[in-house]
């Protein structure tokens, strides 16, 4: 089975532009997580979904960030407008919470906002 798929792998954009990151979880997994990794803050959870429903979005930095999961096989994380401090690696992970709670991570999207 393919692992978690994220696109794009790299994104360079100018401040003020809208950025959309995409994630396809592992087929059959019912939980999806968005994490952000920076040098200053390390790895931190932004939001997670169970059965496509947002459960905990307390890690979303501010209203500029939004996430959706319209179906079990697709999720987006949108930043509008983007700022240089949003530069980071964004990881998507999925798990089967009914089975083993092991979270499998995608390759990440490296975002650079200039």
Query: What secondary structure does DSSP assign to 6-58, as a single string?
Result: EE-SEEEE-TT--EEEEEEPPTT--EEEEEEEETTTEEEEEEEEETTEEEE-T
The answer to the question of residue 82 lying near other proteins (CB under 8 A) is: no
Answer for which of 30, 52, 76, 87 binds other proteins (CB under 8 A) is: 30
**72 vs 89, beta carbon nearer other proteins:** 89
Answer for which of 26, 33, 88, 111 binds other proteins (CB under 8 A) is: 33
**12 vs 43, beta carbon nearer other proteins:** 43
Q: Which stretch binds other proteins (CB under 8 A): 20-28, 31-39, 61-69, 73-81?
A: 31-39
């Amino acid at each position: 089975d393919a692992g978690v798929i994220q696109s794009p792998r790299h994104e360079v954009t100018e401040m003020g532009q809208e950025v959309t990151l995409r994630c396809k979880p592992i087929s059959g997994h019912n939980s999806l997580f968005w994490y952000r990794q920076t040098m200053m803050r390390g790895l931190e959870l932004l939001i997670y979904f169970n059965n496509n429903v947002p459960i905990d979005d307390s890690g979303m930095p501010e209203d500029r960030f939004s996430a959706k999961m319209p179906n079990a096989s697709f999720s987006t994380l949108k930043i509008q407008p983007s700022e240089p401090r949003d530069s980071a690696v964004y990881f998507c992970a999925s798990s089967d919470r009914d089975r083993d709670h092991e979270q499998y991570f995608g390759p990440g999207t490296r975002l650079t906002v200039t």
